[in-house]
């Protein structure tokens, strides 16, 4: 057993694996609960998500963004990414670990690696959001030192109370 490995997604095959994971993430979000589905359809409508997946590598490109892949025993099981919001702030997006790897430490390792990379890239702060229903994710981010805060971007009406926003000063 080789355990969890976190690495940059750099090849075409890596990016295909990440796209597959991102589609699994969207399916997880839209299927989580009937109450959450409309929120996810607002933020991740299928046509918009398809376009986002096509430009994934450009949006999160080095030198100030990154896409990470989590592997468990050599199999892709999770992903996460950062991109710049401005010169001082990076945003963490789409941290997802497949069900078979939950509890393996992959989510924490991914999140920590994203924070570490944002620090190395010279950001002052990392921002992220998660569903208010995802208490496990909230506990993870708080263990990593993130502090709750208000929204850091404009949101569609009726969505702010369904999300939790965090920041970590680097």
For the beta carbon of residue 114, count every other beta carbon within 10 angstroms.
25
Q: What is the DSSP pairing of strand 125-131 with strand 75-84? A: unpaired
107, 97 Cβ separation under 8 angstroms: yes
Question: Which position has the token pair 């990440």?
Answer: 18
Q: Is the pLDDT of residue 19 over 90?
A: yes
Q: Which domains does the chain have, with CATH numbers?
A: 4-169 (3.40.630.30)
Give the global pTM. Answer: 0.94
pLDDT digits (tens, 9 = 90+) for 117-161: 999 999 999 999 999 999 999 999 999 999 999 999 998 888 889
Q: Is the pLDDT of residue 1 over 50?
A: no
How many whole angstroms separate alpha carbon 115 and alpha carbon 159?
Answer: 26
> Looking at residues 86-93, what average pLDDT do you find?
97
Whole-number pLDDT of residue 44:
85
For the beta carbon of residue 99, count every other beta carbon within 10 angstroms.
9
Average pLDDT, the chain: 93
Q: What is the DSSP pairing of strand 147-149 with strand 66-72? A: unpaired
Q: Is the pLDDT of residue 33 over 70?
A: yes
Q: Is the pLDDT of residue 28 over 80?
A: yes
Whole-number pLDDT of residue 77:
98
């Amino acid at each position: 057993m080789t355990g969890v490995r976190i690495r940059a997604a750099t090849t075409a095959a890596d990016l295909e694996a990440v796209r597959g994971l991102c589609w699994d993430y969207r399916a997880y979000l839209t299927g989580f609960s009937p109450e959450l589905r409309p929120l996810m359809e607002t933020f991740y409508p299928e046509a918009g998500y398809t376009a986002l997946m096509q430009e994934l590598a450009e949006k999160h490109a080095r030198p100030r963004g990154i896409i990470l892949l989590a592997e468990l025993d050599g199999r892709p099981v999770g992903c996460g990414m950062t991109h710049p919001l401005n010169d001082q702030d990076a945003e963490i997006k789409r941290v997802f670990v497949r069900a078979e790897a939950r509890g393996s430490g992959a989510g924490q390792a991914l999140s920590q690696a994203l924070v570490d990379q944002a620090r190395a890239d010279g950001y002052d702060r990392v921002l992220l959001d998660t569903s208010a229903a995802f208490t496990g994710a909230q506990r993870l981010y708080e263990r990593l030192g993130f502090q709750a805060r208000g929204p850091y971007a404009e949101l569609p009406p009726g969505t702010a109370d369904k999300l939790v926003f965090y920041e970590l000063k680097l």
